[in-house]
Chains A and B, each alone.
Chain A
Amino acid sequence: MRKQERVSSLQMSMLFLFFMTGSSIVIVPAPLTNIAGNGAWISLLIASTMGMILLSGILYLNRRAPDLSLVEQSRSVLGNIPTLLLLIPFTCVLFWNIAGIVLEIGTFFKSTMLKETPTYAVNSMFFVTIALTALAGIEVIARMATLFFTLMFGCIVLVWVLVAGLYHPEYLLPVMPDGIRPILNAAYVVYGFPYSELVVFSIILPFVKSEDKPKLSKHMYLALIVNAITLIVSVLSSIMVLGPLSGDLKYSLYQLARLIYFQEIIERIESVIGFALIIGFYFKASILMLILIKTLKDLLGLKNERLIALPVAFICLLLSVTTYTKEAELEELVNLTWPLLNNLAYALPFLLILGGTFIRFHLKRGNKQPL
């Protein structure tokens, strides 16, 4: 968050991969297989293609104005008042997005490991950590990501490998027993979470070192492909192990970890895997907090954005304990309203800014200078 902070394109793509995979690896497989059944992997392919299109949009904007965030680009293309009108809902949804991730962590802990602990105690501890991480800045987060990336993805691969003995490839068939409609429905859900959320990443892309900018596109696309592959393999392994039950059991990867039994040496390792998976939630929430603080700084013209970090984190904490406190309500929001909300609050302003930039740069022939 300090002015001189810069990260390499590889670090930025690692943050992006964490952002995209972090919480979705735990949450997405179950509702996806519940709706689309064995065709869940097709839904993921459709949604990740949509994500790829959005990513190409944010990379296009970044190429046009490498040093400007989405807010500054909006100001430059649309003007001050439209920027405020478009980005106030964007910011409100961003506030809840962070709260929602921690709400999911709280629910995950409540139903798996810390059954007697009040959710607000878990959420408070998380928000203290998230706020301190965001205060440390993007460089520190990027350096931490290198270490935690190995831990989290190592544990995911470990689960895939250690449950290999329980795989029943025949469970994968038939692929589309109910036709294409459930697959499209599941694609809508997974597009809402996490793919349409990637738009907010355009706020922190200017942090990439200028000498690394040419490699950024390649690294970001690669990160999105790795994310899609990770989610697809997780969905496939959960279907191959749990069969028709995979849609009914929440936190599929954690459920798979519970089944690990290897020569009486490796068993009951689900808590270790659970904590490794929590890293993803923590990272995603920290990156989002950083994005929110940067958005507020640009939007409100703040000089010292570090001053508002703690009140912002506190508001997010209070949102996480006062909204959607019932699990069923949260599930309904994620599966029903969240994709539409994201489209209106995140994708729509982004597409308007993208359209404005495109018109300004390509159609007004005499105006080819950078924004």
Chain B
Amino acid sequence: MPGKFITVLLLASAMLAHDLPKFKKARARDRLVYGAFLVPLLYLAFIFVTARSWPNLDSIFNVLRGPAQQFIHWLNPVNS
């Protein structure tokens, strides 16, 4: 966990150091989008550091597993 936390902290500091001067000069819409991206970023960073199995993109992707399995079974009954 400390390794993960330090990695996230280092990368976040580097990102903010690079982006803050540009952020100050950016249009309101660009700032809003930047801020909006920080929400999933913080959520994912929290999941990563604390190793929680909270909903993520894979939860959505896994919804398609059933239909994909059916298609594979139709295509090749032996392999499925």
Contact = CB atoms under 8 A, between A and B. Distances in A.
Interface residues of A, number: 45
Contact of A184 (B38, B41, B60, B76): B76
B56 A314 contact: no
A301 B41 CA distance: 21
Interface string A278-301: 000000000000000000100011
A181 interface: yes
Nearest to B8: A318
B44 A315 contact: yes
Contacts of B11: 124, 128, 314, 317
Given A188-B72, A337-B65, A322 B34 contact: no
Nearest to A189: B72
A319 B56 contact: yes
Interface stretch (A6-14, A152-160, A302-310): A302-310
B64 A188 contact: no
A339 interface: yes
Number of chain B interface residues as a range: 35 or more
Nearest to B80: A185
B49 to A, nearest CB: 10
Contact of B57 (A95, A178, A301): A95
Nearest to A184: B75
B37 A306 contact: no
Contacts of B4: 120
A304 B26 contact: yes
A124 B8 CA distance: 9
Contacts of A321: 48
A312 B48 CA distance: 16
A314 B41 contact: yes
Given A184-B75, A337-B61, A308 B33 contact: yes
Contacts of B48: 120, 318, 321-322
B68 to A, nearest CB: 4
B44 A322 contact: yes
A134 interface: no
A340 interface: yes
A29 interface: no
A311 interface: yes
A185 B75 CA distance: 6
B34 A336 contact: no
Contacts of B40: 315
A120 B47 CA distance: 13
A324 interface: yes
A332 B64 CA distance: 12
Interface of B: 3-4, 7, 11-12, 14-15, 18-19, 22-23, 26-27, 29-30, 33-34, 37-38, 40-41, 44-45, 47-48, 56-58, 60-62, 64-65, 67-69, 71-72, 75-79
23 contacts: A92-B60, A96-B61, A128-B11, A181-B77, A185-B75, A185-B76, A188-B71, A304-B22, A306-B22, A307-B30, A307-B34, A310-B15, A312-B37, A314-B11, A315-B37, A318-B48, A319-B44, A329-B58, A332-B65, A336-B68, A336-B72, A337-B65, A337-B68
